[in-house]
Amino acid sequence: MQAVLDVGIVGAGPVGLCMAALLLRRGLDVAVFEKRAGAGSQSRAIGIHPPALAVLESIGAAVPLIGSGVQIRGGTAYSAGRKVGSLDFGLPGAEYPFILSVPQAVTLAVLEDRVAQLGSGVLHRGVEVLDSAPTDGGLLVRGRRADGAGPAEPFEARCRFLVAADGARSGLRAALGVTPAVRSYPDHYLMGDFHDGTPYGSEAVLFLEPPGIVECFPLPGGIRRWVVRIGSPDGEPSASGLAALIEERTGALVDPASNSMLSAFGVTSRLAPAMVHGRTVLIGDAAHELSPIGGQGMNLGWLDAAALAPLLERMVRAERGRTDPTLHTELAELERARLRAARKASRQAGINMALGRPMPPPVLRLRNAIVGRVVRRPAVAGFVARRFTMH
Ligand SMILES: Cc1cc2nc3c(=O)[nH]c(=O)nc-3n(C[C@H](O)[C@H](O)[C@H](O)COP(=O)(O)OP(=O)(O)OC[C@H]3O[C@@H](n4cnc5c(N)ncnc54)[C@H](O)[C@@H]3O)c2cc1C
């Protein structure tokens, strides 16, 4: 007879690992199943917002991440070489008056380390989960395990509850028959990390230019990430092509030879109609994939995990003997609140993308003048900063 886990988690991305650490802190018996054999080295998500830092602090991950990152305390927008406006991310009384910039690989390494410190043998790499089926008082999780050498072997585990944190193309979501609402946007972007030779220090900078926005953000190690909006994908991206676009639109010179990451992406959002499906809960990108513009997806997933952890603990303890009749109502409330948060973040990402679309120069000048005047008002600046920092 296989031991029954309290909670099985599918996916060792940032959201699955955070969920595991939160549940381990609460004394639950947890396992994480990850199909990849090794840790990822790609750098997608870099921005960690203040509410998410509070969650990371609760699992002991905030201090090492802050020690490895750059604190972005504000941002400035320019257009045609002139300053349009500035925004301070430090809200009055905020514990973390900044957005933290850390390469995703570092974030994953810190989270994996925390999980390993909180419980041994929790992360199972090389295990691809295919589906789950109800069993007596729980779920039978089915998949396959590959060690990279021989052929994959069937894999099974039993758990009371399953958390699907298996990303935007969630196989578990599909296996449950859940169809997300999909929206494609007309926006495409080129993104690259280069040696930072700019004078912007630890500031985020937006260039609002007629052919489309250019954004740049500091990363640790004297690196800056550049994101350029393009009309449509134009063949294979190249570091020299991106450097040329940056120079053309902003005048900034970046050295193509210093490029350490290059990516081209279009934008699709996917919102699951519900997160709770019997004993399985979808969180992170599996529940809501957002546009990367605005950098909220990973943060939103961590906030899902933080909201879900105390309820899962109570559900597990209720099944162990102490029943709690309010749990299902609370779970339904949690689902409504998290889907509301996802819709709000998706709208914010939509506004961010609209701000960066191409515009005829006279219209852009007028729009920028209005934006510049509006963000000079302290009340409006506070509101915009709260939206940008996910408060
Ligand atoms: C270019 C870009 C920039 C971004 N920048 C930011 C940013 O600055 N800030 C921000 O908050 N967000 C950002 N995002 C969004 C962010 O990357 C995602 O929201 C985040 O990675 C979602 O985390 P997740 O753990 O839910 O899913 P994922 O990161 O996709 O992780 C899912 C994990 O599940 C595993 N898996 C999948 N299927 C299975 C299976 N069947 N069995 C076992 N394992 C499985 C995968 O291998 C993977 O490790 C960005 C996204 C992009 C594309």
Ligand 1 centroid, distance to 167 Cα (angstroms): 5
Which residues make Cβ contacts (< 8 Å) with residue 75, sequence separation at least 6? 86, 87, 89, 203, 204, 205, 206, 388
Asked whether the predicted pLDDT for residue 322 surpasses 70, the reply is no
User: If you average pLDDT over residues 76-95, what whole number do you get?
Assistant: 89
Q: Where are the domains of the chain?
A: 4-46+103-180+272-353
At 3 the pLDDT is: 73
Contact (CB, 8 A) for 7 and 312: yes
CA 52 to chain centre: 10
Ligand 1 centroid, distance to 135 Cα (angstroms): 30
Which residues make Cβ contacts (< 8 Å) with residue 301, sequence separation at least 6? 14, 15, 18, 165, 283, 284, 285, 287
Other residues' Cβ atoms within 10 Å of the Cβ of residue 389: 23
- 306 phi/psi in degrees, rounded to 5: -65, -35
DSSP 32: E
Q: Which atom of ligand 1 is nearest to the CA of 301?
A: 26
| Mean pLDDT over each residue of the chain, to the nearest integer | 92
Largest CA distance in the chain: 72
- Chain segment 275-298, per-residue pLDDT in tens: 999 999 999 999 999 999 878 999
Cβ(203) to ligand 1 under 6 A?
A: no
Contact (CB, 8 A) for 129 and 138: no
Asked whether the predicted pLDDT for residue 383 surpasses 90, the reply is no
What single-letter amino acid sits at 251?
Answer: G
Partnered with residue 137 across adjacent β-strands are none
At 38 the pLDDT is: 85
User: If you average pLDDT over residues 104-122, what whole number do you get?
Assistant: 96
At 295 the pLDDT is: 87
Cβ(69) to ligand 1 under 6 A?
A: no
What single-letter amino acid sits at 261?
Answer: M
Q: What is the CATH number of domain 4-46+103-180+272-353?
A: 3.50.50.60
Q: Which atom of ligand 1 is nearest to the CA of 296?
A: 11
Maximum mean pLDDT: which of 187-201, 322-336, 348-362 = 187-201
Q: Is the pTM of this model over 0.85?
A: yes
Which tops the pLDDT comparison, 169 or 235? 169
Cβ(294) to ligand 1 under 6 A?
A: no
Closest residue to atom 4 of ligand 1, CA basis: 45
